[in-house]
Amino acid sequence: MPNQSSLLSERHSPRAVLVTGGAGFIGSNFLLRMVPRYPDVSFVNLDALTYAGNPMNLEALESAPNYTFVHGDIADAALVQSLFATHRFTTVVHFAAESHVDRSIMAPLSFVHTNTVGTVVLLEAARQAWRGDASYTGDYRFFHVSTDEVFGSLGDDGLFDETTPYDPRSPYSASKAASDHFVRAYYHTYGLPMVLSNCSNNYGPYQFPEKLIPLVIQNAINGEPVPVYGEGTNVRDWLHVHDHCDAIDQLLRYGQTGETYLISGAAERRNIDLVRLLLDLVDDALGRPARTSQALITFVKDRPGHDFRYAIDATKLRDELGWTPTYDLTEGLRATVRWYLDHSDWLAAVRDASYLEYYKQQYVHR
């Protein structure tokens, strides 16, 4: 419930939810929280199980009566339409994406396929299914999970807000920006009831260790070099994934149709400062002498077109729903380090040969 629940009425009551990309990092955290929280709501998880989709994440839901897994591609129109016909979804929560900027620089087309084309396939299936039901007078919602990267790169000052013009600068953010435009186009053209969120960098359990935080934790545990791009002065705003999932849950029910909301952790850090903190937290958790792992920091060639800074003004979300993040960054990171240490089997399973090969090709030491 929103912090100001007494002031708000629920705008949407999900009954049958299509979750896309629910075997990935944020999607699996979302399902692990929502399936038990809403036993009267049915959840269908459509996931292609790319390298980033991991069924191990969802083992706890295997016997849940209100949860079903479907293996498939969101860009497969026949499959998506048949799922709408079978399950009569009232709600779509759309996470599925190719999500890693470095991969988008090496191979952009899969990002266009999933992030842009896949989103339009879902929008079209929702439009077809829902317009058959009295021109959207039913209670439906298409929730599109997007990123702050669509706004481009900030300098030392300034914040993104809901009115910031789009300026995507990587193939990943360009493909997400295109998907955002299609979601709004379906609202304006067809009246498709959508809500869109653009969120800052997430961290927490089940994040694939190609992203900065789990990569640093994994390499520190193993005593391997920790790659920091460029000088490490780029800035990101970090949000615990549980806070993100709870914000989506509230926005899905209480957000205004047709609106966009920015979600922020209000925790900006330079990469180098975040990495140093994480390394200290790993040393502390492992009982190593203080500062042991700092020597692992290795400055490597910068990411091409590396966005300098992301930062968000989340006033709209706070004012409309009373939502603010609950995690303190240091404590959230400490808990995350603990989670990866306690789930070494999970880390080992995702650390396969192709993953290692990818990093060998990518990172040239300066």
Positions touching ligand DAU (CB under 6 A) are: 99-101, 147-149, 200-201, 211-212, 215, 227-229, 234, 236, 271, 303, 310
Ranges of H-type helices in 15-118 = 25-37, 77-87, 101-106, 109-111
Q: How far apart are CA 32 and CA 364, in angstroms?
A: 38
Q: Does 118 bind ligand NAD (CB under 6 A)?
A: yes
Write the DSSP symbol of residue 48.
-
Is residue 109 exposed (0-12), middle (13-18) or buried (19+ Cβ within 10 Å)?
exposed
Nearest residue (CB) to ligand DAU, 12 versus 103: 103
Nearest residue (CB) to ligand NAD, 10 versus 167: 167
Residues in 22-41 that interact with ligand NAD by CB under 6 A: 23-27
The edge-to-edge listing of strands for the beta sheet with 141-147 is 67-71, 42-47, 16-20, 91-94, 141-147, 194-199, 260-263
Q: Which amino acid would we find at residue 345? A: D
Nearest residue (CB) to ligand NAD, 73 versus 280: 73
Q: Does 47 bind ligand NAD (CB under 6 A)?
A: yes
Q: How far apart are CA 57 and CA 315, in angstroms?
A: 33
Distance in Å, CB of 57 to ligand NAD, minimum:
8
Write the DSSP symbol of residue 230.
T
Residue nearest to ligand NAD (CB): 24
Nearest residue (CB) to ligand DAU, 179 versus 200: 200
Ranges of H-type helices in the chain = 25-37, 77-87, 101-106, 109-111, 119-131, 171-190, 212-222, 241-254, 271-286, 315-321, 329-342, 344-350, 353-362
Stretch 145-184: interaction string toward ligand NAD, x if CB under 6 A: x-x----------------------------x--------
The entry of ligand NAD, ligand DAU, none that residue 75 binds, CB within 5 to 8 Å by partner kind: ligand NAD
The entry of ligand DAU, ligand NAD, none that residue 336 binds, CB within 5 to 8 Å by partner kind: none
The entry of ligand NAD, ligand DAU, none that residue 212 binds, CB within 5 to 8 Å by partner kind: ligand DAU
The entry of ligand NAD, ligand DAU, none that residue 227 binds, CB within 5 to 8 Å by partner kind: ligand DAU
Nearest residue (CB) to ligand NAD, 90 versus 201: 201
Q: How far apart are CA 176 and CA 156, in angstroms?
A: 24
Q: Does 95 bind ligand NAD (CB under 6 A)?
A: yes
- Which residues carry out catalysis? 148-149, 172
CA-to-CA dists, residue 351 to 8, 35, 214, 300, angstroms: 45, 28, 12, 21
Distance in Å, CB of 228 to ligand DAU, minimum:
4
Nearest residue (CB) to ligand NAD, 32 versus 97: 97
Q: Does 209 bind ligand NAD (CB under 6 A)?
A: no
The residue from 97, 123, 178, 196 that contacts ligand NAD (CB under 6 A) is 97
Q: Does 271 bind ligand NAD (CB under 6 A)?
A: no
Could you count the other beta carbons within 10 Å of the beta carbon of residue 216?
A: 28
The entry of ligand DAU, ligand NAD, none that residue 208 binds, CB within 5 to 8 Å by partner kind: ligand NAD
> What pairing do the DSSP bridges indicate for beta strands 235-240 and 268-270?
antiparallel
Q: How far apart are CA 31 and CA 57, in angstroms?
A: 10
Interacting residues with ligand NAD (CB under 6 A):
20-21, 23-27, 46-50, 52-53, 73-75, 95-99, 114, 118, 145, 147, 176, 199, 201-202, 208
